[in-house]
Amino acid sequence: MRTFLGLTDAATTALGASGATIPLLNGANAHSGANTFSADATFNSDLIVGAPFVLQSETLAIDTNGLLTPTKSNVLVNNFNSAAADDLDNIAVTNHPVGSVIKIQAAASCQVPRVRHNGGGSGNIFLRNNADADLNDLDRAIWLERRDAGQGEHGAGWYEVSRSFDWTELPFVPTTSGNSVTLATGLPSGISELEVPFAAVRVGTSQRPPVLQIAPSSGFIGSGYITSTSALDGAALTTSNFIDGFHLARDADYVATSDLNGVMRIRRWDDDENLWLAEWLIKEAPVSGANQYIGSGKTTLTGELDGVRLVTPGGVGSFNLGAARVRYR
């Protein structure tokens, strides 16, 4: 039978030792065509991939219960009934063994899936900083690894291992009128860090500079801060202390005809606490003859950070120039 099929040693040599035409069971084989395995393939040694290894993609919709049931590794997500916004609370584990990694991102720019950490309390998706994440851009992607009970602090489920984005940046808000400007409200829970850039912010008709205040969901607080702001005028360092918020500048040095430019950074002390620490460096314009301000401080909120605003101290004066924004992660 071997002779009839041409499987003698001589025939094998003629076909080529690689087995490209007739696979060898006891030697190396170079497969020049596509091969389909209808059952599991077991490798008892290293599997070396010499070309890009592409896992299949699929487009799925979140169901009415906030569940996604993927079968592939690259998942484009649509919202339930193509809604503009929807919550993704759970991802089925049926089709992926422990250790599997999937990538999720929005399928359409007009639909924004919000990936909710722990599904708001009953889900199996666990994100960094315990904070929700909006897939509000087609370039934003999150990689999740399936873990079993005991492999993660929250139990079995899908854990974030990476993402293609870092900061969530809110639009600039004009600071051109009124004595209070809300920069952000309704922020997602679990935020660990804020940045607030200021561009040419000015309070007219007042020698008192802008103050930044933060808020839990119950509302903004105007007391209980422990903060200091110092003025560097090239010759001396003078400092003032405040309890009503983070003062961008020092009252005695601020000039109402000047504008303020710089960044304030506010960080949570610990993921499980609501103690917030702030630092900032602000330059007063014009360039010549103007002060530079440095400051630091802290405050403790009664709940999760929810909002950020700028106010004039005691409601005196009015904003008349500039803009500011909030970035968070």
pLDDT, one tens digit per residue, over 146-202 is 999 989 889 999 999 999 988 888 999 999 999 999 999 999 887 889 999 999 999
Using DSSP bridges, classify how beta strands 57-61 and 85-88 pair: parallel, antiparallel or unpaired: unpaired
- Most trustworthy range by pLDDT among 19-23, 193-197, 315-319: 193-197
Residues 184 and 170: beta-carbon distance below 8 Å: yes
Res 85 pLDDT > 60: yes
pLDDT at residue number 20: 47
Average the pLDDT over 87-96 and give the result. 95
Using DSSP bridges, classify how beta strands 327-328 and 318-324 pair: parallel, antiparallel or unpaired: unpaired
Question: Looking at the DSSP assignment, which residues form a beta bridge with residue 321?
Answer: 202
Distance CA 239, CA 266 (A): 20
Tokens 């499980």 belong to residue = 272
Q: Kindly indicate the confidence band of residue 117, based on its pLDDT and cuts at 50, 70 and 90.
A: very high
User: What residue spans of 150-220 are helical by DSSP H?
Assistant: none
Mean of per-residue pLDDT scores for the chain: 87
CA quadruple 157, 161, 164, 170: dihedral positive or negative? positive
